[in-house]
Structure 1
Amino acid sequence: MNKTDRQLAIMLELQRSKVLRAEDLASIFETSVRTIYRDIQALSEMGVPILGAPGQGYSLMEGYFLPPVGFSAEEAVTMLMGTDFIEQRLDGDYASAAQAARRKIEAILPETVHDESKRVRETMRLLQAREPVTNLREKDYLGQVRRAIMERRKLLMTYLKKMPETDGNRKSTREVAPYGLALIQGNWFLIARCDLRQEIRHFRLSRMTELTVLEDRFLTPNGFNLNNYRPSDDRNIRVLVLAHPEIADKIAETCHYYMESTEERKDGLIVNFLVRQPEELLSYILGWGGDVEVLEPESLRHRIREEAEKILKRY
């Protein structure tokens, strides 16, 4: 942080915290107390009304606000929750920037708006309890991927696929050109052109290992915009399931991406799924237990029986 940015940040800290000692400011900005003394003197010479009380610390003159920006409680909540999201979901660089942004926003809020926005945030949660948390390894990968995207550098990784190949191996080494990142249902995905498959593929960061940013560069296709990108739907295998109507909401919540249609019948609810491979639904169906029955394809019915027998043997 350069001197000008630090001095502005000192004013914002004083505005937010009311009274701070030089030692407190030195700790916040990771500098020496002597440097803070010089910054305070420079700000005073520029006309910023900083008051110093021996044994207490520094404060801004009552009624002095910088910058002259006003927010409603709703606007403040919107921005502060946005910084919460960034801090929770992105890598360290953006997490630090989110913390700094939050401090600046809180510093310029009038006391009444600050208190009201605090009460609103205490009654709202940004993330659902069942959503996965972005762990430290993923945040590290996220930072590397994000920088590779900006520098247009290729990535080399070992990727653990969801479904094994015919030889039973799930690991694959991929070299990719990273185009963008998407957060889908609490999971970070890399959208990249895979050199092995010669097409755009999606890679879940939680399944990456041994990630390396290469020196090789790539060119993004002309006109590519992640906000306008729509992946092709290659689901072409139909799975029919008979379900108890009482778990219809559970099926919709956990498996809506694969669901195509539902039909109510006397004996239950017929759910029509489209998948790339029937095994994609295996864990979901096992989780629904005796409340569902796979009607077709027969290969999936057989796989369910096999898994049920394995479970029975363990118990």
Structure 2
Amino acid sequence: MNKTDRLLAIVLELQRKEVVRADDLAALFETSVRTIYRDIQALSEAGVPIIGAPGTGYSLMEGYFLPPISFTVPEAVSLLIGTEFIEQQFDDDYRVRSQAARGKIEAILPERVRNETSRVSKTMRLLISDKQVKQSKEKEYLGKIRGAILDERKISFHYTKRLTDSEGNRSSVRTVAPYGLVLIQGLWMLVARCDLRQDIRHFRLSRMTELINLGERFELPIHFNLRDYTPQDNRHLLVRLQFIHDIADKVKESNYHYIENMEKHQDGLHVVLRVRQLDELVQWVLGWGAAVIVLEPESFRNRIREEVQKMFKRY
């Protein structure tokens, strides 16, 4: 990053935050603290009202805003693709807002940049599946949950799990304090503290019904940060499979989230998966038919064999 770009970036960083330390700026822009001192001095001499407090950091004088800046073609394309993504994946409220943002961005672009941006944008396209188009209920819930998170109010819903629990139940009513939403491989997940489990749990919006926003307030824990949050990994069971060479590429392209490792061998593609329960893999393994063999554990080999025998009896 050259000096001009760094000076602009420093002002933008100061606009985003109330106070910024020189050490933090040096780490962010991968330069020395002494260089940051010189940059701050250069900005001050150029008329940018920067206030410095020893031992605290730098801040911009209240009421100062950077004049409108121009976008390069790649920057404009990035922003416009971002608005298209939001239109497809977020709820109706944000869909409308993203369309408005797209109009504002296009309006302020110089004609040359706008024309070039349009040309580049036509070479890329975001597609969503028919299944995603039909997820109107999920998008409706997305908006309600987002509002509950911002208002710090609990919600309740009926939840259906993919597998039964230790008591043989698949459905339950949950009351939770919603902490945040995460989009994983096209699926929206709610991170929340569950009153029933008295701990943080994850819930797919697609498995929710009868969602209700409650009046009960909650306080987000001071130590919780969604961007830093890493869920506890309780997948302790390893499964090893062997696929024939002919479908090795298809297995790789499946991008199955339980896959830990894949290696090519003379007898086929060896795949290692890690799961919480072996039943989580049954349908996926059966879907490959005779092209896959369970190497271990033996208990899972027996489980697949039993399912195949049941299928054989049905036919």
**What's the TM-score once normalised by structure 2's chain length?**
0.72
The AA in structure 2 aligned to 1:296 is E
What secondary structure, in the 3-state scheme, does the structure 2 residue paired with 1:210 have? strand
Find out whether 1:207 has 2:169 as its counterpart: no
Q: Which moved more, 1:268-277 or 1:155-164?
A: 268-277
What secondary structure, in the 3-state scheme, does the structure 1 residue paired with 2:125 have? coil
The AA in structure 1 aligned to 2:235 is R
What secondary structure, in the 3-state scheme, does the structure 2 residue paired with 1:230 have? coil
Query: Shift of residue 77 of structure 1?
Result: 1.0
Find out whether 1:90 has 2:90 as its counterpart: yes
Match of 2:126 in 1: 126
- C-alpha separation between the residues in 2 aligned to 1:219 and 1:68? 38
The AA in structure 2 aligned to 1:105 is I
- C-alpha separation between the residues in 2 aligned to 1:191 and 1:272? 28
- C-alpha separation between the residues in 2 aligned to 1:294 and 1:249? 18
Match of 2:145 in 1: 145
Match of 1:257 in 2: 257
Query: Shift of residue 193 of structure 1?
Result: 0.9
The AA in structure 1 aligned to 2:138 is E
Match of 2:12 in 1: none
- C-alpha separation between the residues in 1 aligned to 2:290 and 2:254? 17
State whether residues 157 and 211 of structure 1, in contact with CA within 8 Å, keep that contact through their aligned partners in structure 2. Answer: yes
Q: Which moved more, 1:258-267 or 1:202-211?
A: 258-267
State whether residues 131 and 186 of structure 1, in contact with CA within 8 Å, keep that contact through their aligned partners in structure 2. Answer: no
Change (3 A) 1:135 1:128: closer
State whether residues 88 and 128 of structure 2, in contact with CA within 8 Å, keep that contact through their aligned partners in structure 1. Answer: no
In structure 1, list runs of 5 or more residues that go unmatched.
1-66
The AA in structure 2 aligned to 1:299 is S
- C-alpha separation between the residues in 2 aligned to 1:182 and 1:131? 19
Q: Which has the higher contact order (CA 8 A, sep 6+)?
A: 1
State whether residues 88 and 134 of structure 1, in contact with CA within 8 Å, keep that contact through their aligned partners in structure 2. Answer: no
Query: Shift of residue 287 of structure 1?
Result: 2.0
Alpha-carbon displacement from aligned partner over 1:213-247 (angstroms, at most 9, x marks no partner): 11111111112111101111101112111112343
Query: Shift of residue 154 of structure 1?
Result: 0.8
In structure 2, list runs of 5 or more residues that go unmatched.
1-66
CA root-mean-square deviation: 2.4
- C-alpha separation between the residues in 2 aligned to 1:235 and 1:172? 23
Query: Shift of residue 300 of structure 1?
Result: 2.5
Alpha-carbon displacement from aligned partner over 1:64-114 (angstroms, at most 9, x marks no partner): xxx964322222211111111111111121111111111111222233322
- C-alpha separation between the residues in 2 aligned to 1:133 and 1:222? 37
Query: Shift of residue 199 of structure 1?
Result: 1.3
Query: Shift of residue 278 of structure 1?
Result: 0.8
**What's the TM-score once normalised by structure 1's chain length?**
0.72
Match of 1:269 in 2: 269
State whether residues 156 and 213 of structure 1, in contact with CA within 8 Å, keep that contact through their aligned partners in structure 2. Answer: yes
Find out whether 1:115 has 2:146 as its counterpart: no
How do 1:1-315 residues align onto structure 2 when only pairs under 5 Å count?
69-127=69-127, 132-133=132-133, 135-166=135-166, 168-312=168-312
The AA in structure 1 aligned to 2:196 is L
- C-alpha separation between the residues in 2 aligned to 1:244 and 1:283? 18
Change (3 A) 1:110 1:259: same
| Percent identity (aligned) | 55
Change (3 A) 1:132 1:253: farther
Match of 1:28 in 2: none
Q: Which moved more, 1:172-181 or 1:71-80?
A: 71-80
Query: Shift of residue 131 of structure 1?
Result: 8.4
- C-alpha separation between the residues in 1 aligned to 2:263 and 2:98? 47
The AA in structure 2 aligned to 1:209 is T
- C-alpha separation between the residues in 2 aligned to 1:132 and 1:282? 25
Change (3 A) 1:244 1:103: same
- C-alpha separation between the residues in 2 aligned to 1:257 and 1:251? 12
- C-alpha separation between the residues in 1 aligned to 2:121 and 2:313? 49
